[in-house]
Structure 1
Amino acid sequence: MTEPVLSGRPTQQIERDDSASDRRTTGPAAPAFAQLSSPYFPILVAGFVGVMLISNITGTKGVVLFPFLNFSAGPFSMHGLVTDGAFYLFPAAYVLGDVISEVYGFKAMRRVILSGFGVLLLASLCFWITVQLPAADFYEGQQAFEAVAGVVPRFLAAGLAGYLVGEFLNSLVLVKMKARSGERRLWARLLGSTVVGEFADTLIFCAIAAGALGISTWQDFVNYTVIGFAWKTLVEILVMPITYRVTAALKRREPTYQQALQAHP
């Protein structure tokens, strides 16, 4: 059956011409953009990656806190708390990791960890390239820049390995515990995941970087590892009330979380 013809043109051709005419009359079509599923998730990701990146720079400074503290018991001894300039920042990465894992799950946190890993690698590469570039005659900060931003391969490997293993374990333990307890006992999930993640992170970092740090005896290694782990864990316990509040606020404001609660009471 032939198509009806009007004024010598098929009906479909007339409709296409009319549509094109309408577009010319009304202007160009609106541009297409993807929708953001959550207004909060990108902020948390930026905070997590930013903390890790800043920690890599501030951590190059050695710091002694509470120099009046002197303690000795068997292989453990303390003459002031020896740490680095990232001591107040690094636990924040685990706090943010706890919040993301609790609210958005392990798959989301896995993407965040891998994104952070990529940014840290890129930053290290950029620092290394910048150090290698020839300094201008008027630039007097080359040695200072190398001391702060210079890439030491052993430290880089130690930091990245500890970061990957520690953050993955922290998120995995929290999510597994949540699968058993549901919304109850958040404090246990935060504490349990922190202990596992921080211990793995500290142990791996110290095991790889100990020689470069000047640690040559088993006693010094144990002392450095245990005190570092205890200090980081204590900081996270102290800020746990803040973690509780942030997590609760996000759960209330994320529509999909409330839908998930209703679907799986």
Structure 2
Amino acid sequence: MSSAATSAQPDHEVHFASRGSSYYDVLLAVFCVVLVVSNIAATKGTQFFSGDVSLGPVQIIPVFSDGGAVLFPLAYIIGDVISEVYGLRAARRAILVGFGTAIMTFLTFLVVIELPSAEFYENQAAFESVVWSGLQIVAASLIAYVVGQFLNSYVLVRMKARSAEPGLWRRLAGSTGVGEAADTLIFCAIAASAIGISTGGDFLNYFVVGFLFKCAVELLVMPLTMVVIRVLKQREPTYFA
């Protein structure tokens, strides 16, 4: 068989790159920033539509979410890239480092609360309110994040073990569905009261909207995610079986 025919065959071996590279360092740094910023942004509950808006005979129900939804889906996108290119151990390291940075951030806020305020500073009560609600958000986020990210990475890597390099889009979609479902359910269950959600109907709205939104974002950017993964696989100097 010619070398050209051989190279055209699909790659049925499982490959991962070494995590000791500058690309991994950049992904890890962005991953941690996304997690910390999302936790802070999630202290604000958001609502679209007032509940008395109608579109002809159809009543538009309010849509509840939180500020963390703006950026948090990027954490799963980066998690997918790390899991696919660098493997489960590298993904586990990223998850644990992100966990540590989020805890450090809010421990810092707790210390800052206790520092004496300057005479001209008039926002101590507002700062404390955000931080204390943020602690509940962080607790929700960290528990949901650890469970969801580990499931996301585990499912992706296990699917890759079955299909090897082909079938990337199936791995990304399947792992996203499992990880986001667990993450969103756990987060909403713990954080709902911190942003003012108190009824079963509002909670269901919060969960469904959050899950669908996160999955939709990841599916919409999946072509870009696949391009990033392909570029990293081509550029990593130590790509091995």
Structure-2-length-normalised TM-score: 0.83
**Once the 2 structures are TM-superposed, how far is the Cα of residue 131 of structure 1 from its aligned partner?**
1.4
Could you tell me which residue of structure 1 aligns to residue 4 of structure 2?
none
Show the counterpart of 1:15.
none
Relative contact order (alpha carbons < 8 A, sep ≥ 6): 1 or 2 greater?
A: 2
Given candidates 191, 198, 203, the residue that maps to 1:216 is 198
Check the 8 A contact 2:144/2:186 in 1, yes or no: yes
How many angstroms does 1:86 deviate by?
2.3
2: CA distance between counterparts of 1:146 and 1:55? 18
Structure 1 residue 102 displacement after superposition: 0.2
Instruction: For residue 172 of structure 1, give the secondary structure of its aligned residue in structure 2.
Output: helix
Equivalent residue, structure 1, for 2:223: 241
Q: In 2, distance between residues paired with 1:49 and 1:104?
A: 17
Question: Per the alignment, do residues 58 and 216 of structure 1 end up closer, same or farther by CA in structure 2, a change over 3 Å counting?
Answer: closer
1:107 pairs with 2:89 = yes
Aligned to 2:226, what secondary structure does the other structure show?
helix
Q: Which runs of 5+ in 2 are unaligned?
A: 1-18
Question: What is the distance in 2 between the residues matched to 1:81 and 1:207?
Answer: 17
SS at match of 1:86: helix
Contact kept in structure 2, 1:70 and 1:80, CA below 8 Å: no
CA drift of 1:173 comes to 0.5
80, 90, 106: which one aligns with 1:124: 106
Match of residue 95 from structure 1? 77
Report the alpha carbon displacement of residue 227 of structure 1 after superposing the two structures with TM.
Answer: 1.6
Secondary structure at 1:63 match in 2: strand
Instruction: State the aligned residue count.
Output: 219
Gaps of 5+ in 1: 1-35, 72-76
Given the superposition, is the C-alpha separation of residues 65 and 247 from structure 1 closer, same or farther in structure 2, using an over 3 Å criterion? farther
Q: Percent identity?
A: 54
Counterpart among 34, 54, 61 of residue 51 in structure 1: 34
From 132, 147, 150, the equivalent of 1:168 is 150
C-alpha contact 2:176 2:215 (8 A) present in aligned 1: yes
1:174 Cα deviation (Å)?
0.4
1:127–1:150 Cα contact (<8 Å) kept: no
Aligned to 2:183: 201
1:1-265 correspondence to structure 2 within 5 Å: 37-65=20-48, 79-150=61-132, 152-257=134-239, 260=240, 264=241
RMSD of equivalent CA atoms: 2.3
Q: Deviations over 1:171-209 (max 9, x none)?
A: 000000000111111111111111111110111111222
Deviations 1:122-171 (A, max 9, x none): 11100111112221111122233234444554333211100110111110
Larger radius of gyration: 1
AA aligned opposite 1:136 = A
Kindly provide the amino acid, as one letter, of the partner of residue 61 in structure 1: K
Deviation at 1:48, TM superposition (A): 0.3
TM-superposition CA deviations, 1:5-57 (whole Å, max 9, x none): xxxxxxxxxxxxxxxxxxxxxxxxxxxxxxx9312110000010010011112
